[in-house]
Chains A and B, each alone.
Chain A
Amino acid sequence: MAKKYHVSATVNGDPVEFLCSGQETMLDVLRDRLELTGAKEGCGSGDCGACSVTVDGRLICSCLMLGVEAEGTSIETVEGMADGDQLTPLQRIFLEEEALQCGICTPGVLVAAKALLAKNPDPDETTIRYWLAGNLCRCTGYDKIVRAVQKAAAEMRA
């Protein structure tokens, strides 16, 4: 029998416990064990950012973290953003500004943009583009994404 690790963590504010094997990634744990399928696997190698989550406030690729490493940490995913049907300004403005098409990259982009705005409420375009350089989008083009982040930042500052 393969060894399983018992892990306790906090995900989107809720305590969770899960069993996982040593090589399972945090992304696999989120999607397959915790049924949080917001984070996506685009590449599995740290290049696309579709799997972005924050761990203890730090933005990371969940495909490059082992599930066992989650012990004692607090993880935030896209599912933790909206309050029921009440979207955050960032989410609502992404819809209004049509900053997505297929939507595969969107959970990662939202998590990354939220982390940026928490650190810097008024980022300029260059800052946003560098911050989001690890979030690839094959559909929208980045202009709409950048504009949506700027517009959300302005509304959130108001």
Chain B
Amino acid sequence: MSQLRYEAPGSVDEAVALLASDSDAKVLAGGTDLIVQMRSGLRKLGLVVDVKKIDELMSVSSDGGAWTIGAAVSGAEMNENAALKKDWPGVVEAVDLIGSTQVQGRASAGGNLCNASPAADSVPAMVAAGATAVIAGPNGRREVPVEQVPVSPGKTSLATGEMVVAIKMPAKPARNGEAYLRMIPRTEMDIAIVGAGVSLTLDDGGTCTAAKVALGAVAPTVVIVDDAAKALIGTKVDDAALEKMAAACSAACKPIDDKRGTIEYRTKVAGVMARRAALIALERARSN
């Protein structure tokens, strides 16, 4: 029987060196995906690099309004950070939707992103909010928009030896609001059949000047719907604009058909979820 080798380095450099030493090595953050996959035999055992002893991956800080969230910080801890929640409630709420209280105790945004599930809840919210991922590897560091990390179900753009160190959130623009909503067949503990993240910014007169709409679970990776954003920009986010935005979302869906949601249902609901999320984002933008 193969054995699992465990290392818990104290620095990013050591973690990168370990990851680079073995092409099958995996980062262990909260383990709420990785340990499930290992136990079900989906992942073969090899080297696991626990990154939770690295301060940078476990801390949240803000600098001039911009946030740096350690990739392995748990959902529970993000949710307890009142200042972060005030700036980016949609992102924090999306992370909070992941699993139960017990799962929240360990699950991280970095793990949610790097697991590269099409239904990952935090991803559309982070994409809409303009989050970036700081990646460290054998050749140093690079920063990319979070949507560039997952490339297909279960696969990321990270090269051997690379890991996500932190998620960065920009300084909150004035009169910006964002929100994430998902549709699940039950009320808790389920996987999204559609997720919608919407961020919008208003001018003094309440006209939308910038918007970003991202959908989860309706295609192999997160979908940024430019036509949905265009439908909002230049409007007062009135019914007509929301209608157009919802139609653009439905048109952008390329969902799977399964027992949890048919293609038709997912396509329709994508517009409904985006519309509801946009209304919450609008409320938040008006009060910011």
- A36 in the interface (beta carbon within 8 A): no
> Closest chain A residue to B188 by CB distance?
A133
Which stretch (A9-17, A42-50, A77-85, A87-95) binds chain B? A42-50
- Chain A contact residues: over half helix, strand or loop, or mixed? mixed
B102 pairs with A5, CB closer than 8 A:
no
Q: How far is the CB of A138 from chain B (nearest CB, A)?
A: 15
Q: Mark B25-51, 1 if CB is under 8 A from A, else 0.
A: 000101110011011100001001010
> Closest chain B residue to A132 by CB distance?
B101
- Within the assembled complex, what's the spacing in Å between the Cα atoms of A22 and B188? 32
Interface residues of B, count at CB 8 A: 30
> Closest chain A residue to B76 by CB distance?
A58
A157 contacts across to B, CB distance below 8 A: none
- Within the assembled complex, what's the spacing in Å between the Cα atoms of A23 and B4? 5
- Given the known inter-chain contacts A45-B36, A45-B40, A46-B32, please indicate yes or no for A59 contacting B3, CB distance below 8 A: no
- Given the known inter-chain contacts A22-B5, A59-B105, A133-B188, please indicate yes or no for A64 contacting B31, CB distance below 8 A: yes
- A121 in the interface (beta carbon within 8 A): no
> Closest chain B residue to A72 by CB distance?
B53
> Closest chain B residue to A53 by CB distance?
B102
- Within the assembled complex, what's the spacing in Å between the Cα atoms of A71 and B50? 12
- Within the assembled complex, what's the spacing in Å between the Cα atoms of A52 and B99? 14
Q: Mark A1-13, 1 if CB is under 8 A from B, else 0.
A: 0110100000000
A3 contacts across to B, CB distance below 8 A: 3, 5
Interface residues of A, count at CB 8 A: 34
- B74 in the interface (beta carbon within 8 A): yes
- B268 in the interface (beta carbon within 8 A): no
- Within the assembled complex, what's the spacing in Å between the Cα atoms of A45 and B188? 16
- Within the assembled complex, what's the spacing in Å between the Cα atoms of A3 and B48? 14
A135 contacts across to B, CB distance below 8 A: 100
B189 pairs with A22, CB closer than 8 A:
no
Q: How far is the CB of B4 from chain A (nearest CB, A)?
A: 3
- Within the assembled complex, what's the spacing in Å between the Cα atoms of A115 and B104? 13
> Closest chain A residue to B103 by CB distance?
A46
> Closest chain A residue to B48 by CB distance?
A22
> Closest chain B residue to A20 by CB distance?
B6
B5 pairs with A65, CB closer than 8 A:
no
B101 contacts across to A, CB distance below 8 A: 59, 112, 115-116, 130-134
- A117 in the interface (beta carbon within 8 A): no
- A69 in the interface (beta carbon within 8 A): yes
A5 contacts across to B, CB distance below 8 A: 6
Q: How far is the CB of A118 from chain B (nearest CB, A)?
A: 12
Q: Mark B6-35, 1 if CB is under 8 A from A, else 0.
A: 101000000000000000000010111001
Q: List 21 A-B contacts (CB under 8 A).
A: A21-B3, A22-B3, A22-B5, A23-B45, A46-B32, A46-B99, A46-B100, A46-B103, A49-B100, A58-B106, A61-B32, A61-B102, A61-B106, A63-B35, A64-B103, A65-B35, A69-B31, A115-B101, A116-B101, A130-B101, A134-B103
List residues of B whose CB falls within 8 A of some A CB. Answer: 1, 3-6, 8, 28, 30-32, 35-36, 38-40, 45, 48, 50, 52, 74, 76, 99-103, 105-106, 188-189
Other A-B contacts than A131-B101, A134-B100, 20 sampled, CB-CB below 8 A, are A5-B6, A22-B3, A22-B6, A45-B36, A46-B102, A59-B105, A60-B105, A61-B103, A64-B31, A64-B35, A65-B35, A66-B31, A66-B50, A69-B8, A71-B8, A130-B101, A130-B188, A133-B101, A133-B188, A134-B189
